[in-house]
Amino acid sequence: MDQYVTGATIKRLREKQNMTQADLAAKLNVSDKAVSKWETGRGYPDITFLEPLAKVLGISIIELLSGNDIVNTNKGSNINKTNLYVCPICGNIISSTGEALVSCCGITLPALEAEKADEAHMIQVEESDGEYYVTVDHEMSKTHYISFLAFMGDDCLKMVKMYPEWNCQARFQVRGRGRLYAFCNHHGLYYTDVRPMRKTPVRKVGEMPV
C-alpha cells in the first residue's frame, strides 16, 4: 500500500455527511478524541477501521485512500460514456460506464484519453457482409504492439484482445455509427469514427428514380 487515508480527507468527508467528530466517533465506537487525532494528523486510524470508516462516510475504501470521492452521475449506464483503463503493470483492461475510481496492481488508473488516429496508428476499416473488418498496420513485436481493438456503439462495447506477433485485425458486427479504438502499449489509445455505408435502394424495372 503506497498511500493511507489522511486527516484532511476524513474531515472533508465527515463534514460532507453533516457529522460532527462525536457523531463519527459514535458510529465507529471510538472516542471523539481519536477522531480529532486522525483529522489533525496526530494519529492514523487502524487498518481495521478502513472498511467501517469508508462505509460510514459513504465511499469505497479505494476512494478513501486516494482522497477522491467519485460521484457517478451516469445512472442510466450510457455506453457512450464508457471509460477505458489499462494497467501498465499487468496489462489488465477495464471499462466503466461512467465515472469511477479504478485500481489495479496497487495503483489508481487514469481513464485513457483517446487521440485521433495518426499515420503511425491508422485504423483501416472495410465494411462487408454486415461487419466492419478492422486492421492496423503496426509493429506487433514482443515489446511494441497493439494491445486491443474495440468498437463502441450506441448500445454495445466489443473488445478483441491482440497479442505480440499476431496480425492486428478483428471483425465487428455493424451496429450503426460508432467509434473504433486501437490501443498501442507505447503511445496509448487512438480512435476513428465509423458509420455504415448507405445502401442504394433497389428499383423495379421501369421505375423512375426519386
**pLDDT tens string 24-57:** 999 999 989 989 989 988 888 888 888 999 899 9
Q: Got the DSSP string for 5-56?
A: --HHHHHHHHHHTT--HHHHHHHHTS-HHHHHHHHTTS----GGGHHHHHHH
Dihedral pair phi/psi, residue 149, rounded to 5°: -115, 145
For residue 46, the model assigns a pLDDT of 87
User: Residue 188: is its pLDDT beyond 90?
Assistant: yes
